[in-house]
Structure 1
Amino acid sequence: MNCQTLLIDDAPAVRLQGAAGDTVTVLLRGAQVISWVDASGVERLYCSPASPLKGPQAVRGGVPVIFPQFAARGSLMRHGWARMRGWTLQPWDTSAPEPSVSLQLHNAVGDDPQWPHACVCTLTVSLLPNGLRMALTVENTGPASFSFHAALHTYLAVGDVAQTTLAGVLPEGAVLSLREPIDQIFEAVTGPLQLHSPLGLLRLEHAGFGDVVVWNPGPDAGLADLPPLGHTAFACVEAAAVMQPVALAPGAHWQGSQTLLSGL
């Protein structure tokens, strides 16, 4: 396993390289994956060139960790605070079956008065022979139960969203065209999903998450951190726990994962 820490545009990050030359790069701020280059040399994630990696705003692209609130479904900042905070890089686990890196975030009772719960979040990112797995674990370290939303808000590079389709979210095997703007939560999706785009096929698998969110803002969103034609280059397909929030008792933990597989 080849793993190094580095600065990218003044933002601390860690980069992991697999045996086949595939790489994954993760920012320490937000534990946000910003790049996955697969074994064939193709960049599979989209990260907006108009979004500074060092902040202070959230980075648009890669895989933001959404926790403990999804969008504006609560009183916290949009999509919660996990993607805005600094995470701590954990010691390398050389015994792991795949090259992996883990980052951890501790939240104390007083860190956010609007969410007074103690917890530990861990994101483990692993390079597979033909893919990438991201696993988010949440542990309740406080004395009271709490509920939360969570998602891995994955911006997938597609080359041209007008020529991209997604299978696995609609009933009876129907295929979803991503030609038009979309912002939709698909409930109780078991997967797997297949994303067909000019960059090739991606198989998407998830566990622990019950929902799938599909999003592309289209040409008229007017997002300041997205180039004028940026929306054409990606499709967000994210494993999520939104419609049924996760409830954790004291001492309990939950894990949700999303796996991206290429070249299949």
Structure 2
Amino acid sequence: MDRANKPKTLPKLSSTPGLPPQPTVNFTDDNSRLRAELPTGESVEVLLYGATVISWKDATGDEKLWLSEAAKLDGSRAVFGTAPDHPQTKDLPQHGFARTSRWEFLGKSTSESMVGRAADEPTVKLDFGLSSAAPGLDPKAAAHWPFKFNLIYSVTLNRESLTTSIVATNDDGATPFDCQVLMHTYLRVKKSPASPTRPTPTKSARRPLPPKPNPPPPSTLTITGETDRVYTPTEDAVTVAENSQPRFRVTRDNLANVVVWNPWAAKAEAMADFAPDDGFRNMLCVEPGAVGGWQAVEAGDAFEGAQTITLLH
């Protein structure tokens, strides 16, 4: 699926005189990543290895995501760090092969070609693909995942939000397969870890799954130590506060769970790919996903899920 001679800069979809400026998409010289920028200055950067969003900036250049200074961006390791008891996935890489494979960039859409609200504001949508036939597929996945599949991952940027969505299609004829999905989003916060607030969940759990049952947490969770939990909220939106001020709203679509993770001091220091050691004070993972169990995808069917992170001022 990977094209050998991709252009470094994708042309605008239209050059008709009188049209407002359109978003641009540029590849790096080594074709390892691409950067999309709205005409108003907001930008997003995606590493093709894992189709990993590694930067999201507002019009002033203020970064909204946290990225470890020790993260490997050369494809040697997943940027963000198995299920040994699950027969279909027990031999796959940690966190799954979608994060350890090189995805193909399928193209862009802009507000000029969209309908509805997206057409009324600067918007760019980037589509990435990975399939069982893709040359970028992790070799370990190809050896231990016998099912035919097709994944489409989309990243949509507008002035106030970032949306990521995935469609996982089972192309394997008559054989169903199981999957899990987690949007690994490391939000950048200032001074100290934030406090995600949300409606009282119906269920909470520690990872790894299956968990021991825990009582539902309060509607406000304050991070004061190592935190690694799976929640099942009753409503779709979670608010992430920074120093008691709302900063992000994370909205889920067809993703039942939210993982909240912060390694805190001891674990951060012990992790080789987490830097600086005190970086835990400036980041918080609030990750929508479908990880409370396995999602069965029947032959010819698909699983879809999405998240939207909205800036709050």
Measured against the shorter chain, the TM-score band is 0.7 to 0.9
Matches within 5 A, 1:51-62: 51-60=71-80
2:108·2:124 contact (CA, 8 Å) conserved in 1? no
How many Å separate the matches in 2 of 1:44 and 1:107?
A: 33
How many Å separate the matches in 2 of 1:161 and 1:189?
A: 27
2:239·2:246 contact (CA, 8 Å) conserved in 1? no
Distance 1:71 1:48, change over 3 A: farther
> Counterpart of 1:92 in 2: which secondary structure?
strand
1:70·1:149 contact (CA, 8 Å) conserved in 2? no
Distance 1:169 1:35, change over 3 A: farther
> Counterpart of 2:107 in 1: which secondary structure?
coil
1:39·1:130 contact (CA, 8 Å) conserved in 2? no
Distance 1:188 1:165, change over 3 A: closer
1:161 matched to which residue of 2?
192
How many Å separate the matches in 2 of 1:151 and 1:119?
A: 18
Shift of 1:153: 0.9
2:109 matched to which residue of 1?
93
Aligned: 1:215 with 2:245: no
Q: CA RMSD in A?
A: 2.5
Q: What amino acid is the match of 1:208?
A: N
1:66 matched to which residue of 2?
none
Distance 1:215 1:38, change over 3 A: same
> Which of 100, 105, 130 is equivalent to 1:84?
100
1:175 matched to which residue of 2?
220
> Which of 305, 309, 312 is equivalent to 1:256?
305
Shift of 1:135: 0.7
2:236·2:253 contact (CA, 8 Å) conserved in 1? no
How many Å separate the matches in 2 of 1:80 and 1:72?
A: 14
1:161·1:179 contact (CA, 8 Å) conserved in 2? no
Distance 1:173 1:224, change over 3 A: closer
Aligned: 1:6 with 2:28: yes
2:160 matched to which residue of 1?
130
> Which of 235, 241, 246 is equivalent to 1:190?
235
1:22 matched to which residue of 2?
42
Shift of 1:141: 1.1
Q: For structure 1, list consecutive stretches of 5 or more residues without a partner in the other structure.
A: 62-68
2:210 matched to which residue of 1?
none
Which 4+ residue blocks in structure 1 deviate beyond 4 angstroms? 69-74, 108-111
* Greater mean alpha carbon deviation, residues 107-116 or residues 83-92: 107-116
Q: What amino acid is the match of 1:236?
A: C
In the TM superposition, what whole-angstrom CA distance separates every residue of 1:129-182 from its partner, at most 9, and x where no partner exists? 3110001111111111111111111100012334x2111154597210012210
Q: What amino acid is the match of 1:229?
A: D
Aligned: 1:102 with 2:124: no
Distance 1:70 1:17, change over 3 A: farther
2:52 matched to which residue of 1?
32
1:203 matched to which residue of 2?
249
How many Å separate the matches in 2 of 1:226 and 1:35?
A: 17
Q: How many residues align?
A: 254
Q: Which has the higher helix share?
A: 2
> Counterpart of 1:15 in 2: which secondary structure?
strand
Shift of 1:183: 0.3
1:153·1:238 contact (CA, 8 Å) conserved in 2? yes
1:245 matched to which residue of 2?
294
Task: State the identity %.
Answer: 28
> Counterpart of 1:220 in 2: which secondary structure?
helix
Distance 1:81 1:200, change over 3 A: same
2:181 matched to which residue of 1?
150
TM-score (normalised: structure 1): 0.87
Q: Which has the higher strand share?
A: 1
How many Å separate the matches in 2 of 1:55 and 1:122?
A: 20
TM-score (normalised: structure 2): 0.74
